[in-house]
A = this chain, B = another copy of it.
Amino acid sequence: MKVDGQDIRTIWLDKDKTVVKIIDQRKLPHEFVIVDLKTVDDAITAIKDMYVRGAPLIGVTGAYAVYLATLNAPGAHIDPDYLATEADRIKAARPTAVNLSWGVEQVMSAIARQTESEKKIEAARIAAGAITEQEVENCRKIGEHGRSLIEQISRQKSGKTVNVLTHCNAGWLACIEHGTATAPIYAAFDHGLDVHVWVDETRPLNQGTRLTAWELGKHGVKHTIITDNAGGHIMQHGMVDIVIVGTDRTAVSGDVANKIGTYLKALAAWENHVPFYVALPSSTFDWNIKDGINAIPIEERDPDEIRYVQGVDHNGATSVLICPPDSPAANFAFDVTPARYVKGFITERGICKATEEDIKRLFPEKE
């Protein structure tokens, strides 16, 4: 994607193929810092300390971490026990991230098919690269399928600005390129459609304000930050044409777990006849869960994420207490939007309704 006119991804292998480059996302939007990952420890720190975040990006970082393990293996031959230990260390960096284990295992399998060290290194690099390209391709396809929805609205509005509302950051920063919820927006923009994005700030961690606003701005897409409170009002007044959000886990029944606050936007969209879409690679479907509201566990995070806000003042980056020092807070990280409020899913294979039947029409191998 574009950053100050340059094409960039969230992760890439440097020309000499010994250094993995990432954006230190902790510093956004106030600083744009590229960090070199040269060792497994570098990669573990990047994953654990959230230099990188977002399921696809964490998976790819894990994959490249295994490649770094092969590069830095001690001795002339790569010891399988050494590699297995390193793989376990990488997977433990964020133990609940399914994509991380998956990315690591994919590269480990590719290595296991080789015997010579040079071949193992090459196989790891090719496998990590292939995972990367697969993620990019999934997001690109989501973008193409979702673009058709924006084009249709644009035609209905005779080319006038299409207003999209999104929540949290399901952007290219969470992926490699394109993003999930943002992919249709970028695809529409790159095709010359007039598109404007309402960016929910997404309390408590402000992923909208910090990340979505930054990446849209850098790519040149018109956008406006609003408080999470404002979505109902602007939908009521016809200022939103379509809502597109991402998801952390989606039940095969169509219930959608996503960042806390998504459910409130879905209710407002339903009430005001605004189509509410969820963009996702099919890896995000949970094929076993039929009742999202009762079966998807909702993480409660540290209340201090609410009590303190990160930002910059004249002294630089800081964190400010915004409530009475003794007031308790509860930090529910996700909520579940019932399938009936979801107009459709935008997947890499096309668009489907939020019903088990229609999801499995696109993914018949899951029957």
Contact = CB atoms under 8 A, between A and B. Distances in A.
Contact of A260 (B233, B322, B332): B233
A275 interface: no
Interface stretch (A111-119, A206-214, A280-288): A206-214
Interface residues of A, number: 64
A326 interface: yes
A217 B335 contact: no
Interface stretch (A60-68, A147-155, A313-321): A313-321
A226 B332 contact: yes
B268 A330 contact: no
Contact of A267 (B232, B330, B334): B232
A171 interface: no
B320 A230 contact: no
A311 B322 contact: yes
B236 A335 contact: yes
A259 B232 CA distance: 12
A90 interface: no
A332 B261 contact: no
Interface of A: 29-30, 199, 201-204, 206, 209-210, 213-214, 217, 223-234, 236, 259-261, 263-265, 267-268, 271, 293, 298, 303, 306-313, 315, 318-324, 326-332, 334-336
Given A210-B322, A233-B260, 20 more contacts: A29-B323, A201-B203, A203-B228, A203-B229, A204-B227, A213-B323, A213-B327, A217-B326, A223-B328, A224-B329, A225-B328, A229-B259, A232-B263, A236-B293, A236-B335, A264-B267, A310-B322, A311-B320, A313-B313, A313-B318
